[in-house]
Structure 1
């Protein structure tokens, strides 16, 4: 159910200040004009001998930074070069969710179970420049995820998603979903498009909301339950994987058509993350099998606000038109970058996986460790693990080499 106004039965309450203006960058001399009260549990340096557990890792919207929630607070890291930007430790405990807003001073925080002051059913909008909480959301059940845009705050519960206006924290939309314990939800991040993808009400379905066009699209992505998905920055393409973890599918979010299907493998695996390169030339996926697979995409998209990305890739072009209603996705000729089985000529006779598109590059990591992936600059894939490991797959190219650099996050 999608509603445009708060319901009298809504399961949340909001505490806000005079307003939120997410404009300042972390570390800058600017400060949002907010009159909220300060954090009631002071930030303090912990004893260096105290053991710190890593609870979560999440990228910012342009994948230039990532946030780590720890048992004592949170830390922010720059990706290239990899270095810790800053950390905050609380006496009351840590955070299971830390969501950045690009590189500005505003973050969304959700406390871990062991946090004595900020429980897991509360979302804090935290201004790190002023070291104060400038807004709170309290719910009747635990928060499963939080996503931020410059103009919206999205809170994910197990069966419902709330969309709030960033400036005044007004509730704008409510979306009901199938049970969503993973907190699956993703947003577009171009300023002129607002696309939200979340689980639908039926197994294997993804619901896509084009809020600017007032269009809802239900995509029957898989027969099994959805395990992971992601959008391109403009929201025009959706990549999905099911709990089987064998296939990854790419869809046009405007008409729901399937554009491409690639195969991770034939054995069941848990897909931990999927990343699409900014120019939509490559897709990377990590799994609990200890592998990161890189696939070549053969998708060309025409649509509104597909911004040109300056990069070193020479991949499929993104053509631009003036209206999303004239979106015309095309499949470009297969370049052969994703190898097919040598028995693919017997398509329709042998099982389907003999004709599948396979990854052109794989990288092996420790099994059963949760890794998340993103595309960095200079033709690289960045991999960060819950074991504190950060990897960089450099010079990703079907015809080139792959070089690995490894470092560990600071303790």
Structure 2
């Protein structure tokens, strides 16, 4: 029997109108089970393909075609780093942009929230909860839809809610979704169970078709899934020590990568059609690995002396921003050659970096951390020549004028006095986890928090300083919280 294939979603553009609804057929659900292959020898750095295990196929009728369509309406138009060891202490006397009065927590803690993530163009974000998942539009802000997958007294009883019978033997029939990854604005999503009562096993990636309101495929592994990344032509699954890359059309395994321990599921993949660039942790501390699938080459970048805590890849795959567990400096690299292009400073105190994001025009970089401040930095990089980019000379530091008699001090001043600081800041509640992205409107950023908050604000690229808050919402309303 011929192996059924999932049609490639890439030919269908997001602005195409949705097809006419078809009557649902009572057929056996096809769920190709692609299990984690046995441990293999270390991959050759230039290797692209890996042996694929034979997937287990359920005998049954040919599945209905998987047609990704536009199911969502479109959005309108320094010194301490040099010795960056894990046990080193950081200088705390320098000014930190996050200093100042604390912002009061805007909403009650979102105890029902398990996961938040933006889609590939940052026009939407998804939230995984203990009872299902929800999709929101950023500008204008509104909830697009929600799917309630498990019984919950807090679940709303309306036409949008999709109630399904409990899954036997899975989390006691719960509805927890620990990972939800959108594929731009189409009807296909990747789901992973999570929380105390997961709806699906945490070691499986479920391919959800929202037009059919069911899963049409699954990928199974021997250990819990830490993250999922989607392109129109690839599915990337991140485990703690491995990364698997699959063709979207047929769920065929095309590459596997060994990584250092990666409990956060760090991984980024380019989104422009054509050549694929994938960034993940390397095998050594402080190292990142860059896979250039079009050129069939692997690049290793020793980004930091301590472990890499966060990184981001520009959508075109040309620039990489990295931060270490120290969280004081952010470094921007050329993805093709691996050379350092620019270094900016978030602050002087140690911090946990939660997210990094490039603007679409690659002029700005946004950073969020546990200090509760969103920073926006100017990028002084010529992105026109990606293979020959050179670091631009750093601007003159804002160091107070020193008389000639004290000029000898200049040679021993800490490097943070000469650092590049953020041009704009937006202050939130310290200690909460926020992820940041640039909005589609010029000079705007969107911020989503694990406290259930959504902010949209605007920065002045000339004068800088505090950003102007444009709107603020609680996307998990108090009525949605468990009693």
Q: Does 1:217 align with 2:334?
A: no
Q: Does 1:391 align with 2:455?
A: yes
Note the C-alpha offset of 1:342: 3.8
Q: 1:57, 1:68 within 8 Å by CA — same for their partners in 2?
A: yes
RMSD of aligned Cα (Å): 2.5
* Structure-2 separation of matches of 1:22 and 1:150: 12
Q: Identify if the C-alpha distance between structure 1 residues 342 and 128 changes in structure 2 by more than 3 Å, giving closer, same or farther.
A: farther
* Structure-1 separation of matches of 2:147 and 2:117: 16
Q: Does 1:329 align with 2:389?
A: yes
Work out which of the residue numbers 57, 62, 71 in structure 2 matches 1:26. Answer: 71
Q: Does 1:381 align with 2:463?
A: no
Q: TM-score, normalised by structure 1?
A: 0.83
More strand by share: 1
Note the C-alpha offset of 1:234: 0.6
Q: Does 1:89 align with 2:148?
A: yes
Q: 2:368, 2:435 within 8 Å by CA — same for their partners in 1?
A: yes
Deviates more, 1:392-401 or 1:230-239: 392-401
Other structure's SS at 1:299 match: coil
Q: Does 1:360 align with 2:423?
A: yes
Q: TM-score, normalised by structure 2?
A: 0.71
Q: Does 1:6 align with 2:57?
A: no
Q: Identify if the C-alpha distance between structure 1 residues 15 and 157 changes in structure 2 by more than 3 Å, giving closer, same or farther.
A: farther
Equivalent residue for 1:67?
Answer: 126
- Which of these two proteins has the greater Rg computed from alpha carbons? 2
Q: Identify if the C-alpha distance between structure 1 residues 347 and 295 changes in structure 2 by more than 3 Å, giving closer, same or farther.
A: farther
* Structure-2 separation of matches of 1:373 and 1:15: 42
Note the C-alpha offset of 1:343: 7.3
* Structure-1 separation of matches of 2:184 and 2:442: 20
Q: 1:204, 1:220 within 8 Å by CA — same for their partners in 2?
A: yes
Q: 1:273, 1:372 within 8 Å by CA — same for their partners in 2?
A: yes
Q: 2:447, 2:456 within 8 Å by CA — same for their partners in 1?
A: yes
Q: 2:424, 2:459 within 8 Å by CA — same for their partners in 1?
A: no
* Structure-2 separation of matches of 1:275 and 1:121: 28
Note the C-alpha offset of 1:94: 1.6
Other structure's SS at 1:353 match: helix
* Structure-1 separation of matches of 2:436 and 2:57: 33
Note the C-alpha offset of 1:5: 2.4
Note the C-alpha offset of 1:259: 0.1
Q: Identify if the C-alpha distance between structure 1 residues 13 and 380 changes in structure 2 by more than 3 Å, giving closer, same or farther.
A: farther
Q: Structure 2: which 5+ residue stretches go unaligned? A: 1-41, 74-109, 151-173, 478-483
Q: 2:356, 2:366 within 8 Å by CA — same for their partners in 1?
A: yes
Which structure 2 residues correspond to residues 41-120 of structure 1 after superposition, within 5 A? 53-91=112-150, 92-120=174-202
Q: Identify if the C-alpha distance between structure 1 residues 15 and 367 changes in structure 2 by more than 3 Å, giving closer, same or farther.
A: farther
CA displacement 1:23-76 (0-9 Å, x = unmatched):
311158xxxxxxxxxxxxxxxxxxxxxx97011100000000000001100000
Other structure's SS at 1:222 match: coil
Q: 2:270, 2:276 within 8 Å by CA — same for their partners in 1?
A: yes
Q: Does 1:403 align with 2:474?
A: no
Equivalent residue for 1:288?
Answer: 370
Q: 2:334, 2:389 within 8 Å by CA — same for their partners in 1?
A: yes
Other structure's SS at 1:169 match: coil
Q: Identify if the C-alpha distance between structure 1 residues 106 and 394 changes in structure 2 by more than 3 Å, giving closer, same or farther.
A: same
Q: Does 1:369 align with 2:429?
A: no
Note the C-alpha offset of 1:399: 2.3
Other structure's SS at 2:348 match: coil
Q: Structure 1: which 5+ residue stretches go unaligned? A: 29-50, 304-323
CA displacement 1:332-356 (0-9 Å, x = unmatched):
56677xx644479966421221211
* Structure-1 separation of matches of 2:366 and 2:459: 14
Q: Does 1:270 align with 2:334?
A: no
CA displacement 1:312-344 (0-9 Å, x = unmatched):
xxxxxxxxxxxx7xx2224456677xx644479
Q: 2:423, 2:464 within 8 Å by CA — same for their partners in 1?
A: no
Equivalent residue for 1:32?
Answer: none
Number of aligned positions between the proteins: 363
* Structure-1 separation of matches of 2:57 and 2:391: 46
Equivalent residue for 1:157?
Answer: 239
Note the C-alpha offset of 1:390: 1.0
Equivalent residue for 1:301?
Answer: 383
Q: 1:246, 1:265 within 8 Å by CA — same for their partners in 2?
A: yes
CA displacement 1:112-146 (0-9 Å, x = unmatched):
14335411111001000111211101111100000
Q: Identify if the C-alpha distance between structure 1 residues 232 and 343 changes in structure 2 by more than 3 Å, giving closer, same or farther.
A: farther
Note the C-alpha offset of 1:21: 4.9
Q: 1:381, 1:396 within 8 Å by CA — same for their partners in 2?
A: no
Q: Identify if the C-alpha distance between structure 1 residues 335 and 157 changes in structure 2 by more than 3 Å, giving closer, same or farther.
A: same
* Structure-2 separation of matches of 1:13 and 1:210: 31
* Structure-1 separation of matches of 2:235 and 2:64: 14
CA displacement 1:340-396 (0-9 Å, x = unmatched):
444799664212212111112222110110000000022101111110111112144
